[in-house]
Amino acid sequence: MAFALFLLDNRVDSATLAASSTAAGGAMPVTNIQSEARSDIWRSGPGSSSFVDITFGSAGTVNAAAFVDLNLSTVGTIRIQAWTDAINGAASVLDRTDPPNVFGYGQQSYAYGAGAYGTGNYALAVPLADQMGRNVTLIPLAAPVAARFWRVTFSDGNTLYQQVSRIYLTTPKQYTYNLSFGWGAARRPRSVKKESLGGQNYTQKRDSRLALDVAFDYLTETERANVLVTLQSYGEDRPFVFAVYPGNDLQGLTTSVYCTYEGAKVVHRNYNISSFTFTAVEEF
């Protein structure tokens, strides 16, 4: 099993971006990908395929890619390409295609309206018509890739446009010893209910937050110092991607979260042994 990982400092956030197209009106530019606000979305123009070109200031190593709230269906593809000389250049160092990571079962009823949920099976062969179905597709790369020029192409014949909230290309943070057994996952309900005379519950549905309680019990001295530096930088308000099981599958999907720290704490237990406990709380 791959170790749990953190996607923290994202190289895409300081890169130069260009998209093959942007939805008419210009309300969702490609620079929204660099916004930490999850509700800031880049949306392509009409079509079943589009790409985003990412140019770093200098070549850097990338070990993992992640996509937050991608709207592709299960038949869609994500193609990641990298070059050392130029976008679409001669010196290709990476060209791989992966499926998106989406929930493959229904979360909504189908009785209403004319949207995607209303006319088909949610996420089976239809796109997410909006970002209500939140997801994180995490693609660990087989080997580190050093390149300055990147292109990510989204394709899905089921979609009329492609959209994504965040693209991560970075070197993930992992620790020498993986997190300890006993980690927990829970969803924090936010819906409110009101009971009628007859006992019927009228619910104002609100999305629940995924909360992962984890503990890394065996950090080294160096890792502990790095954690403290990270906590200073991120506090409890700057979002990042955390995955218990990093992988492009259902196990990865259900344990990967765009989140902030809550209650993060480091305890020095013994020589060269520190514990790092926190709750990763999903950010909307």
Partner 1 sequence: MAAIDTYLAGQNVKRVLFAEITQGNTVFYVSSEPYITEPTDPTGDMPGSLPFEPIISKDSGLPSFRTSLGTVFSPRASSSVGDLKLISTTAMSLVSGASPAKRNLLTTIKRGATIVFKIGAPRSFFRYADAITVFSARVRSINGDDTDTVTLTLDTAALVLFDSMTPARAVYGTVSNIPLALADYGLQRYNTHPGGPIQSVAAVYDRGVTLTAGSGYTVNTATGQITLTANPAGEVTADVVGFAANTIRDIAAALAAPYLPVLATFPTPTGAAGYFLEEAKPVADALDDLALSCGAFWMVNDSGQLEFRLWAVAGAPVASYSQILMLGGYTFVQADDIYASQPYLYNKNWTVQNQVAAGANAAHANYAASPGTGASVNATGDGSATTVPETLTTYFVAQADALVVATRICLVAGIARFIYTIEVPLSQSRQLGDTISLQTNSGYVSGLVISRAITAESGIPTQTLEALV
Could you list the residues that contact partner 1 (CB under 8 A)?
A: 23-28, 38-41, 43, 46, 108, 111-118, 129-132, 160-161, 191-194, 196-198, 200-207, 284
Kindly state the smallest distance separating residue 211's Cβ from partner 1, in Å: 17
Kindly state the smallest distance separating residue 100's Cβ from partner 1, in Å: 18
Q: What is the 3-state secondary structure (H, E, C) of 84-97?
A: CCCCCCCCEEEEEE
Q: Which is nearer to partner 1, 39 or 61 (CB)?
A: 39
Kindly state the smallest distance separating residue 102's Cβ from partner 1, in Å: 14
Q: Which is nearer to partner 1, 22 or 279 (CB)?
A: 22
Helix (H/G/I), strand (E/B), else coil: 199: coil
Kindly state the smallest distance separating residue 37's Cβ from partner 1, in Å: 9
Q: Which is nearer to partner 1, 47 or 263 (CB)?
A: 47
The total of other beta-carbon atoms located within 10 Å of residue 153's CB is 17
Q: Which is nearer to partner 1, 90 or 114 (CB)?
A: 114
Are the beta carbons of 125 and 119 closer than 8 angstroms? Answer: no
Are the beta carbons of 67 and 79 closer than 8 angstroms? Answer: no
Q: Which are the contacts of 187, defined by CB distance < 8 A and separation ≥ 6? A: 208, 209, 210, 211
Q: Which is nearer to partner 1, 100 or 133 (CB)?
A: 133
Alpha-carbon gap, residue 142 to 89, rounded angstroms: 22
CA separation, residue 89 to residues 30, 92, 170, 202, 219 (Å): 22, 7, 21, 58, 42
DSSP label at residue 102: -
